[in-house]
Amino acid sequence: MKRSLRNKVPAPELDECLRRYLKSGSKHGDTTMTLGQTRWAIAEGYIPGQSSFSDPALVSHETACILNAGETEAHIRVTVYFADRDPAGPYLVTVPPQRTLHLRFNDLERPEPIPRDTPYSTLLESDVPIVVQHTRLDSRRAEVSLLSTIAYAQAAPR
C-alpha cells in the first residue's frame, strides 16, 4: 500500500499519511493498518417480538458487532432485505476510528423500524474496511439462547 502511495500521491499528502502511520504505529503496533473488508452480509435476521425480561441486556435482540480498527471514521450504509417486499434503508451508521459499535437492529428507526417476527437479511457497506460479526440473544423463553457468526465478507467491487 505504501509502495503504491509513493507513486501516486503528491508528496505533502504522502508525508502526512506516513506521519500518521508512524505515530499510531508506536501505540498499537500494526493495528492501524487496514483491517477487514468494506462489504459484509448477514443472511440470517430475526428479531423475536417477545422477551421474558425488561432488563435491556436480556431483551431479545439482534446485533451487528462492527469493529473499525482504522484511523478514519467509518460511514456505513445498512440495507435490510425481506422475503416479500422491497428492501428497507439505507440506515446510516457511523463508527469512529479505533472504536467498536454493537449495533442493535431493534434500535434502528430511520427510515423505518425493522418489523418483529419477520425474517430478514442485512448488507453493510462501509467506506473504509471494517469487521462484522452477527449475534442474537433470544429470550422468548425464560432461558436465554445465543447464536453468533462472523458475517460474510467481500471486497468492494472494482
In the complex, least distance from residue 28 CB atom to a second copy, rounded to whole angstroms:
5
Q: Among residues 71, 73, 108, 133, which is the contact residue for a second copy, using CB under 8 A?
A: 133
CB 27 within 8 A of CB 63: no
Name every residue whose Cβ is closer than 8 Å to that of residue 108 and which is 6 or more positions away in sequence. Answer: 78, 91, 114
- Residues numbered 37-66 forming contacts with a second copy, rule: CB under 8 A: 39, 41-46, 48, 57-58, 63, 65-66
Total residues contacting a second copy by CB under 8 A comes to: 71
Secondary structure (3-state) at 31: helix
> Residue 146, interface with a second copy (CB under 8 A)?
yes
> Residue 132, interface with a second copy (CB under 8 A)?
yes
Q: Among residues 51, 61, 62, 134, which is the contact residue for a second copy, using CB under 8 A?
A: 134
CB 25 within 8 A of CB 18: no
d(CA 5, CA 136): 41
State the amino acid at position 123 in one-letter form.
L
> Residue 110, interface with a second copy (CB under 8 A)?
no
> Residue 101, interface with a second copy (CB under 8 A)?
yes
In the complex, least distance from residue 88 CB atom to a second copy, rounded to whole angstroms:
10
Q: Which three cell numbers stand for residue 2?
A: 505504501
What distances in angstroms separate CA 96 from CA 62, 72, 128, one per listed residue?
21, 7, 11
In the complex, least distance from residue 54 CB atom to a second copy, rounded to whole angstroms:
15
